[in-house]
Structure formats: structure tokens, C-alpha cells
């Protein structure tokens, strides 16, 4: 048997022989196989997809030597007519599409009609099949592309495809395979993935007589999705959904998204499905990332299963042989649907990191704050949402009240800095407890500041431990973001300008930053070749004793880096990050009772209070259940 990659060069030197000639059909299929059949897991994927397309309710997969020696997929689906068996293993033969227009609305997993032919060209393949109306089963065998005649045999309704000795005739391809154990794991992963998208179908995988996976038919979507995420993580997932189907090219979405504390180091725990088909898609990944912005550290990746449904003509699945990639007609709609659904799910939930290092499953009492399992009803969903947003502000932060509430933190904790910024409009700090309607009239909670860094208190679930700097940073960030979104930040004029020593590139950066600085309430201009004068600075930063000179110098350094695009939303958030970090109380600051109480109250008022703007947790909760476990009471 010739190696597929070795061209036949005989006669190439003779002038009379044609140099261009059609490829041998086996070679054509082997080349196609190079795209479709990379390893046993690809065989598993193709065969299981065929079984799904055939309407199977149960699919069994048997493997030997990680699928290298044998992959057998047996289904109870519609079967293949005896006369169709030779066609099924031939190239470009499919029952799924007939006309070019069909390509625009593909609803099946397969359609290219090349999988069986490709697999047959690089293995020993046997198909046994029987339709419900047939008296018996029929069988066809193909070895290295050569088909034997169809012969009658016995067998149940459905189809069983045996693929033996993969790549027996293409040793070079075989060399790329990993150990049997690795290939087996990939085969099981391929089944898990397809199973997640088809919770009504039962799947069983066995290898060398051992059952590796056994999923009963008719599981709930959540239970199935947890098969790929890890069942033990059940309590760490929220349900996300969106239904934008009203519009003709609509998108519906259902998914499980992980709490920030189970984010991973890679994006391998993101499983995206479109119309039941596992896909990889940059737009969706980006939207997912966006939704978690500020909730996880930038180096981490959210964990999620997202199932999207679109009309078949809203997407082109015919852009890649393995069908991993698809092309959406409306990527911006896609982005906004995913972003909104995931963001809403995160907003509605209590994202407080729970427990010590590793979260214990199911530990929130009555899992009240975590979305219940099973399907979610919209009214309940909306209710969750409402509960987390202070009713008094109609869903928006009331800046003035927040500012008032922050003021005591300023007045008590910050002793006059030596380089006191120039005086600004004189106002006596309002006492937050006098601001009507802001502080909830709940009984005072007991609060303890620990080592001038952490705040410990009690809530309805157990003990809450707060990092004072991280939480205050988040509060400052949300206040600033809300304010900037509503208009430019309020600023104070300096009586005498503050002078920043600047380099030439600082001056250039200042120029490009102009619109951003205006939004932030910073007024600065070059005076001479090496200095910049600051004339006005945001009130909120003044209040928090942030030094204008230090701040602007740092901002200009930051703006010099290549990645910084001053006109992007990202840059704005970056700068707000810097501001909040500088303005927030620090570890080591002593806080008075009033400040502690205010800070904890603000925690309940703002969004994303579970994590600081860099994604680190602001709070950790030890639930009563966990404490009981730790003390061996249960």
C-alpha cells in the first residue's frame, strides 16, 4: 500500500507522458481523510454524529486500544437500505442534502458525505444496518477503500459501524497518534461533548469490557451539561438564558456559567454548541470574557457550557471540513445576546467566594442565592435581579448618596497628608446616617476589623470576611464608572496649578489623552518643554486625598505603552481602575465603626461587589454548613 503523502513520480522525466493527471480515487479519499480523520476521536465524532442524524435514542460506543484497534458505534436509529450501503461509503454521497440551496439551511450534523468514505480509505470498515421495515440486516465491508459486495446478515434495527486498524495503510499518520490512554480520553471527551448537546439520547462508552461513561436517555439539560463540567461542581454554576427569537434571525441561548471562583487557567472548560453541534467561536468567547470582566483575574478563563439555537439559515456551517468553525451572519447580535445573558446571570447571583480555598459543593443554605437547578422560570429570574438592585435608586447608583456615604471614610481614616492638595470648595462631610433612605434601617451588625486589613461580620449564611481595600476599590470603581457613564466627572479647580515633570513622549501622550482626561474631569496642559500644569482634578479623588501630580505622572507612563488605546472603553476602565486603587482605603488603615458599617452597606448597594476591579475576591464567606463540617458536627 502506498503512503498517501508519497506522490507517484515514475514517468515524470518522460516528455511524452502527461504530467498532470487525475488522482486515484483512493488517494482522493485519503487526502480528504487528512482533513476529517485526525485520530480515533474524529472517527468517534463522525460516527456518533451520523447516529444522531439517524434519530437514535441510544448510542453505544466500544473502543479497543484507545480506538486505534477498534471503534464501534451502534445505534437504534433509522438504518440504511441495503442498496444504499455501497453509496454510503462512497465519496460525496449523502442523504442529507441534494441541492445547493440546502446548504443554506443545514439542520443535520453531517452533510458533506465524505466522513464514511474518508474513514473507509484509512481503515477496515464494516457497516451492518437494518431499517424497521427490513426482514434482516445487511452488511458491507471496505478495506483500504475497496468495497466488498453487500451481504445479508442478522442483527437488530439500527446501524453498527466497525472501524478497525485505523491508519493501517498510512503509517505516517499513525505515528502522530498518542498513547492508547490519551486517544481513549479524547474519544470519551468527544462523546461527552456530543452528549451534552443531546440530553434526550442515551450514551454508553466502553473500552475493553469496561464502562467508561453511561448516560441514560432523557436527562435534563443541566444534568447533561454537568457531565462535561464535573458533577461535583453543580452548586458552582448559574443558569444563563436569552430568547431573542422574535426577530427572524434570532438567537436563543441556554447555558451554565461558572461562579468566578471556578475560573480556569485555560479556556478548555468553555463548551460552546450551536444547534446541537460543538463549535469554537471567537465572538462568543469574547462575549463570555466581557461578561466576566472585573469578576475574574485577567489571566483566568470562565468555565461555561453555552447552547445556542439559531435558524439554520442564520449561520454557515460549511466553512470547515470538521465543522468546528461556523460563520454567523450577524456577529454583533450574537455578541450582545451572549454578553447580556451571561452578565444578567452573574448580576442576579451572590458571587461571594465561599469557603476555604476549595469550595464545598452545595453549601449555601437552601442554595438561596444560587440559581436553582432545572429549568428556570423567567419571573423568578427577574425577581432575583430586582432583589440585588437597591429599589430606591431604580437600578442605578445614586452618586451623591454614595459619595455622602463615603465621606466619613475620608474624614476619619485619612490624616492630613503632608503634600495636602490645594484647597477646594469647603464642605463639611455629611454624615451618611443622616442621608434619608440610604442606609437601610436594619439593626446594627457586629463588625470587627482584623489586623487593620480585614473586616469580619455575620450575614444570613454564616461569617463574611472582607478585604477592606479590595471592597473599597470596587465601590470606588462602580461610583466612578456610573458617574462617567452619566457625563464627565465632577472636578475641582486647583488654586495654584500642580506641576508634573514630563518627557517629550509624556507630552505626546497628553495630547492623545485629551478627550479621556476631559471625561475624567482632569484639566492639564503643557507649560514649557518639560512640564505639565494640572488645573483641575476630580472631586472624588480630592476627597480621597489622591495626589494629582503622582496620579497624572502614572497615567502618562501608562499611556505610553503600546497596548493603550486612549479612545477605547478598555482604556477608560483601566484608568478608573487606577483611580479606584489610589482612592481606596489601604490595608493598614484603621477604620472607625461608622466607616466599617458604611463600607459593608455599600457592599450591598453596588454591582459586582464580590470581586475587586482586577477580579480578586473582595469577600469570602464561611457558611454555617462549612463551619459545622470543619468542626465535625455533621
Which burial class, exposed, middle or buried, applies to 246 when counting CB atoms under 10 A from its CB (0-12, 13-18, 19+)? exposed
Q: Give the whole-angstrom CA distance, residue 259 versus residue 261.
A: 5
From candidates 28, 66, 72, 75, binder to ligand ADP by CB under 6 A: 75
DSSP string of 449-492, one letter each residue = EETTTEEEEE-SSEEEEEEHHHHHHHHHHHHHHHHHHHSSPPEE
Q: Give the whole-angstrom CA distance, residue 30 versus residue 39.
A: 13
Establish if 342 lies at the interface with ligand ADP (CB under 6 A): no
> Which residues 6+ apart lie within 8 Å of 176 measured at CB?
38, 39
CB of 78 to ligand ADP, least distance (A): 5
Return the C-alpha cell found at 322: 470538521
Residue placing its CB nearer to ligand ADP in the complex, 317 or 475: 317
Segment interacting with ligand ADP (CB under 6 A) among 16-24, 94-102, 310-318, 365-373: 94-102
Interaction partner, residue 112 (ligand ADP, Mg ion, none; CB < 5-8 Å by kind): ligand ADP
DSSP state of 24: P
Stretch 22-51: interaction string toward ligand ADP, x if CB under 6 A: ------------------------x---xx
Establish if 77 lies at the interface with ligand ADP (CB under 6 A): yes
Establish if 304 lies at the interface with ligand ADP (CB under 6 A): no
Residue placing its CB nearer to ligand ADP in the complex, 93 or 571: 93
Phi, psi of 590 (to 5 degrees): -80, 130
> Do 613 and 477 contact (CB within 8 A), yes or no?
yes
Positions that interact with Mg ion (CB under 5 A): 50, 110, 115
From candidates 32, 111, 497, 621, binder to ligand ADP by CB under 6 A: 111
CB of 323 to Mg ion, least distance (A): 10
Where are the alpha helices (H) located in 198-300, listed in sequence order? 221-229, 282-291
CB of 472 to ligand ADP, least distance (A): 58
Interaction partner, residue 574 (ligand ADP, Mg ion, none; CB < 5-8 Å by kind): none
CB of 510 to ligand ADP, least distance (A): 60
Q: Give the whole-angstrom CA distance, residue 399 versus residue 152.
A: 80
Q: Of residues 248-287, which lie at the interface with ligand ADP (CB under 6 A)?
A: none
CB of 114 to ligand ADP, least distance (A): 6
Q: Of residues 138-197, which lie at the interface with ligand ADP (CB under 6 A)?
A: 159
Establish if 203 lies at the interface with ligand ADP (CB under 6 A): no
Establish if 66 lies at the interface with ligand ADP (CB under 6 A): no
Establish if 238 lies at the interface with ligand ADP (CB under 6 A): no
Q: Which residue's CB atom is positioned nearest to ligand ADP?
A: 110
Residue placing its CB nearer to ligand ADP in the complex, 110 or 199: 110
Establish if 90 lies at the interface with ligand ADP (CB under 6 A): no
CB of 79 to ligand ADP, least distance (A): 6
Residue placing its CB nearer to Mg ion in the complex, 50 or 169: 50
Q: Give the whole-angstrom CA distance, residue 294 versus residue 606.
A: 13
Pairing of strands 202-207, 58-64: parallel
Establish if 52 lies at the interface with ligand ADP (CB under 6 A): no
Q: Give the whole-angstrom CA distance, residue 224 versus residue 231.
A: 9
Q: Which of 586, 569, 581, 633 is nearest to 290 (CA)?
A: 569
Calculate the alpha carbon distances from 94 to 7, 80, 110 in Å.
29, 11, 8
CB of 572 to Mg ion, least distance (A): 48
CB of 101 to ligand ADP, least distance (A): 17
Q: Give the whole-angstrom CA distance, residue 192 versus residue 201.
A: 12
Interaction partner, residue 424 (ligand ADP, Mg ion, none; CB < 5-8 Å by kind): none
CB of 49 to ligand ADP, least distance (A): 7
From candidates 80, 180, 229, 314, binder to ligand ADP by CB under 6 A: 80
Give all strands (DSSP E) within 461-594, no chain letters: 462-467, 491-501, 523-526, 531-538
The CA-CA-CA angle for residues 381, 457, 581, to 5°, reads 80
Residue placing its CB nearer to ligand ADP in the complex, 71 or 78: 78
From candidates 42, 94, 138, 605, binder to ligand ADP by CB under 6 A: 94
Q: Give the whole-angstrom CA distance, residue 135 versus residue 158.
A: 13
Q: Give the whole-angstrom CA distance, residue 129 versus residue 80.
A: 6
Interaction partner, residue 95 (Mg ion, ligand ADP, none; CB < 5-8 Å by kind): ligand ADP
User: Which residues pair with residue 279 across a beta bridge?
Assistant: 272
Residue placing its CB nearer to ligand ADP in the complex, 91 or 497: 91
Establish if 61 lies at the interface with ligand ADP (CB under 6 A): no
Q: In this structure, how many other beta carbons lie within 10 angstroms of the beta carbon of residue 60?
A: 19
Q: Which residue's CB atom is positioned nearest to Mg ion?
A: 110
CB of 338 to Mg ion, least distance (A): 28
CB of 54 to Mg ion, least distance (A): 10
CB of 65 to ligand ADP, least distance (A): 23
> Which residues 6+ apart lie within 8 Å of 604 measured at CB?
390, 440
Residue placing its CB nearer to ligand ADP in the complex, 80 or 489: 80
Residue placing its CB nearer to ligand ADP in the complex, 161 or 337: 161
CB of 314 to Mg ion, least distance (A): 22
Interaction partner, residue 349 (Mg ion, ligand ADP, none; CB < 5-8 Å by kind): none
Name the packing angle between helices 331-347 and 378-388 (round to 10°). 70
From candidates 4, 71, 78, 599, binder to ligand ADP by CB under 6 A: 78
> Do 524 and 551 contact (CB within 8 A), yes or no?
no
Establish if 221 lies at the interface with ligand ADP (CB under 6 A): no
Establish if 82 lies at the interface with ligand ADP (CB under 6 A): no
User: Which residues pair with residue 308 across a beta bridge?
Assistant: 253, 274
User: Which residues pair with residue 242 across a beta bridge?
Assistant: 253
> Do 280 and 324 contact (CB within 8 A), yes or no?
yes
Residue placing its CB nearer to Mg ion in the complex, 50 or 580: 50
CB of 108 to Mg ion, least distance (A): 8
From candidates 37, 106, 115, 195, binder to ligand ADP by CB under 6 A: 115
Task: List own/partner pairs for 171-180 with CB under 8 A and 24 or more apart.
Answer: 171/3, 172/3, 172/4, 172/5, 173/4, 173/34, 173/122, 174/68, 176/38, 176/39, 177/39, 177/40, 177/68, 178/39, 179/66, 180/65, 180/66, 180/68
Given the rule CB under 6 A, which residues bind ligand ADP? 46, 50-51, 54, 75, 77-80, 88, 93-96, 110-116, 159
Amino acid at each position: 500500500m502506498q503512503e498517501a503523502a508519497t506522490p507517484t513520480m515514475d514517468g515524470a522525466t518522460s516528455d511524452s507522458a502527461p504530467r498532470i493527471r487525475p488522482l486515484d480515487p483512493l488517494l482522493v479519499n485519503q487526502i480528504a481523510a487528512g482533513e476529517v480523520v485526525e485520530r480515533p476521536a474524529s472517527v468517534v465524532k463522525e460516527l456518533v454524529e451520523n447516529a444522531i442524524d439517524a434519530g437514535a435514542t441510544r448510542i453505544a460506543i466500544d473502543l479497543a486500544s484507545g480506538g486505534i484497534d477498534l471503534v464501534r458505534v451502534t445505534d437504534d436509529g433509522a438504518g440504511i437500505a441495503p442498496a444504499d450501503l455501497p453509496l454510503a461509503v462512497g465519496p460525496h454521497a449523502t442523504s442529507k442534502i441534494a441541492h445547493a440551496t440546502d446548504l443554506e439551511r443545514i439542520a443535520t450534523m453531517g452533510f458533506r458525505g465524505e466522513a464514511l468514505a474518508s474513514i473507509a480509505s484509512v481503515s477496515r470498515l464494516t457497516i451492518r444496518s437494518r431499517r424497521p421495515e427490513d426482514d434482516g440486516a445487511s452488511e458491507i465491508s471496505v478495506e483500504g477503500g475497496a468495497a466488498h459486495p453487500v451481504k445479508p446478515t442478522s442483527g437488530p434495527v439500527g446501524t453498527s459501524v466497525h472501524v478497525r486498524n485505523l491508519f493501517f495503510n498510512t503509517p505516517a499518520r499513525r505515528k502522530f497518534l498518542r498513547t492508547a490512554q490519551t486517544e481513549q480520553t479524547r474519544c470519551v471527551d468527544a462523546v461527552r461533548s456530543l452528549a451534552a448537546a443531546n440530553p434526550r439520547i442515551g450514551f454508553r462508552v466502553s473500552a475493553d469490557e469496561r464502562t467508561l461513561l453511561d448516560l441514560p436517555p432523557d436527562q435534563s439539560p443541566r444534568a447533561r451539561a454537568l457531565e462535561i463540567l464535573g458533577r461535583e461542581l453543580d452548586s458552582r454554576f448559574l443558569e444563563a438564558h436569552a430568547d431573542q427569537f422574535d426577530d427572524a434571525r434570532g438567537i436563543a441561548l441556554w447555558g451554565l456559567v461558572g461562579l468566578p471562583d471556578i475560573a480556569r487557567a485555560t479556556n478548555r472548560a468553555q463548551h460552546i454548541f450551536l444547534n446541537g453541534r460543538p463549535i469554537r467561536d471567537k465572538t462568543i468567547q469574547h462575549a463570555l470574557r466581557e461578561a466576566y470582566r472585573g469578576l475574574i483575574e485577567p489571566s483566568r478563563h470562565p468555565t461555561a457550557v453555552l447552547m445556542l439555537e439559531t435558524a439554520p439559515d442564520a449561520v454557515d456551517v460549511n466553512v470547515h471540513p470538521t465543522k468546528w468553525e461556523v460563520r454567523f451572519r450577524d456577529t454583533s447580535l450574537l455578541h450582545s445576546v451572549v454578553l447580556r445573558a451571561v452578565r444578567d446571570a452573574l448580576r442576579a447571583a451572590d458571587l461571594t467566594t465561599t469557603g476555604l480555598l476549595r469550595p464545598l459543593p452545595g453549601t449555601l443554605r437552601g442554595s438561596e442565592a444560587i440559581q436553582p437547578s432545572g429549568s428556570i422560570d423567567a419571573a423568578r429570574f427577574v425577581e432575583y435581579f430586582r432583589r440585588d438592585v437597591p429599589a430606591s435608586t431604580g437600578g442605578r447608583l445614586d452618586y451623591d448618596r454614595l459619595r455622602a456615604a463615603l465621606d466619613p471614610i475620608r474624614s476619619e481614616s485619612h490624616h492630613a497628608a503632608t503634600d495636602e492638595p490645594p484647597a477646594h470648595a469647603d464642605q463639611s462631610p455629611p454624615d451618611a446616617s443622616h442621608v434619608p433612605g440610604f442606609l437601610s434601617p436594619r439593626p446594627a451588625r457586629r463588625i470587627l476589623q482584623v489586623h487593620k486589613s480585614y473586616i469580619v461580620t455575620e450575614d444570613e449564611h454564616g461569617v463574611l470576611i472582607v478585604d477592606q481595600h479590595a471592597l473599597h476599590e470596587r465601590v470606588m470603581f462602580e461610583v466612578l464608572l456610573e458617574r462617567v457613564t452619566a457625563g464627565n466627572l465632577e472636578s475641582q479647580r486647583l488654586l495654584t496649578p500642580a506641576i508634573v515633570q514630563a518627557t517629550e513622549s509624556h507630552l505626546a501622550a497628553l495630547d492623545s489623552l485629551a478627550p479621556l482626561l476631559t471625561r475624567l474631569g482632569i484639566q492639564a496642559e503643557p507649560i514649557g518643554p518639560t512640564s505639565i500644569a494640572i488645573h483641575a482634578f476630580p472631586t472624588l479623588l480630592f476627597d480621597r486625598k489622591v495626589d494629582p501630580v503622582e496620579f497624572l505622572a502614572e497615567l502618562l507612563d501608562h499611556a505610553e505603552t503600546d497596548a493603550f488605546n486612549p479612545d477605547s472603553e478598555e482604556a477608560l476602565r483601566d484608568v478608573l481602575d487606577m483611580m479606584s486603587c489610589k482612592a481606596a482605603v489601604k490595608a493598614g488603615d484603621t477604620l472607625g465603626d461608622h466607616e466599617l458599617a458604611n463600607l459593608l452597606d455599600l457592599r450591598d448597594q453596588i454591582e459586582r461587589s464580590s470581586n475587586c476591579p482586577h477580579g480578586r475576591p473582595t469577600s469570602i464567606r464561611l457558611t454555617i454548613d462549612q463551619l459545622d463540617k470543619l468542626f465535625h458536627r455533621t
